[in-house]
């Protein structure tokens, strides 16, 4: 589904990714772990098509298409979802308004009919209920006044509504308490654990992986994957630290 080969990327002339290669097949969950500054978030931004990050070498294909040739909205319409470490606030735009427009834009790009207001509202309420989020929060401006945990839960509601094929989740566990961590983990499994979907889960810690068990764990250091293994590698990292494992 996702094929990354020898990816190099920089921001403001500073190289961040230095030859990263990764293969993600449908049905798989890959955890990307590593110390601060390793390039984990940069990988997410480059895949999502964020401005300011320049790819200087390498290739990325998504379902056989050249991902790097697509604009950010085309990547989303193709089925890629990027979950942010710090979800942005959008004052003046309600969750419902934002999500309906995002979903129907993607449906139109795929040649599908847009959802009616009634059908969309039914879908949004079902996804909010599944994440334990008060449906009244859907009427509020996107993430404005939300706690850190509410923002992450709202992001899972967004993912459930958009129903992507590939989710790249950047430190989704950041700022979550124990209960919220379990709810968000259950949400990732419910929405994304399917034979035709895949997840790239970027995290510092093993704790989220107690709920979302990865098929593969990769250690990212200085812009490259320096070690890969199964779920047991995350436990080794938690016990021994990045310095010992990545050396």
Say which residue, 166 or 241, is predicted with more confidence: 166
Structure token digits, residue 139:
């009427």
Q: pLDDT tens for residues 1-47?
A: 999 999 999 999 999 999 999 999 999 999 999 988 899 999 999 99
Structure token digits, residue 148:
């850190």
Q: pLDDT tens for residues 44-58?
A: 999 999 989 999 999
- Summary mean pLDDT of the chain: 92
Q: Is the pLDDT of residue 167 over 90?
A: yes
What distance in Å separates the CA atoms of residue 24 and residue 32, rounded to the nearest whole number?
12
Q: Is the pLDDT of residue 136 over 90?
A: no
pTM for this predicted structure: 0.91
Q: Is the pLDDT of residue 121 over 90?
A: yes
CB 212 within 8 A of CB 201: yes
CB atoms under 10 Å from CB of 129, counted, come to: 12
Pairing of strands 216-221, 53-62: unpaired
77 phi, psi to nearest 5 deg: -65, -30
CB 102 within 8 A of CB 123: no
Q: Is the pLDDT of residue 247 over 80?
A: no
Q: Is the pLDDT of residue 246 over 70?
A: no
């Amino acid at each position: 589904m996702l094929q990354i080969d020898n990816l190099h990327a920089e921001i403001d002339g500073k190289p961040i990714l230095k030859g990263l290669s990764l293969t993600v097949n449908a049905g798989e969950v890959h955890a990307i772990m590593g110390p601060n500054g390793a390039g984990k978030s940069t990988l997410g931004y480059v895949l999502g098509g964020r401005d300011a990050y320049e790819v200087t070498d390498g290739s990325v294909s998504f379902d056989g298409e050249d991902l790097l040739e697509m604009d950010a909205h085309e990547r989303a319409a193709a089925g890629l979802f990027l979950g942010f470490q710090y979800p942005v606030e959008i004052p003046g735009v309600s969750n419902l308004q934002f999500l309906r427009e995002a979903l129907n834009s993607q449906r139109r790009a795929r040649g599908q009919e847009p959802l009616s207001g009634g059908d969309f509202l039914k879908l949004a309420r079902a996804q909010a209920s599944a994440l334990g989020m008060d449906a009244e929060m859907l009427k509020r401006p996107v993430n404005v006044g939300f706690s850190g945990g509410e923002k992450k839960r709202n992001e899972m509601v967004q993912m459930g509504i958009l129903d992507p094929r590939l989710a790249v989740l950047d430190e989704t566990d950041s700022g979550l308490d124990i209960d919220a961590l379990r709810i968000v983990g259950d949400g990732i499994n419910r929405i994304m654990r399917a034979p035709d979907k895949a997840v790239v889960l970027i995290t510092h810690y093993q704790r989220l992986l107690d709920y979302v068990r990865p098929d593969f764990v990769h250690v990212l250091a200085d812009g490259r994957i320096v070690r890969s293994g199964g779920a047991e590698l995350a436990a080794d990292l938690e016990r021994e630290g990045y310095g010992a494992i990545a050396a």
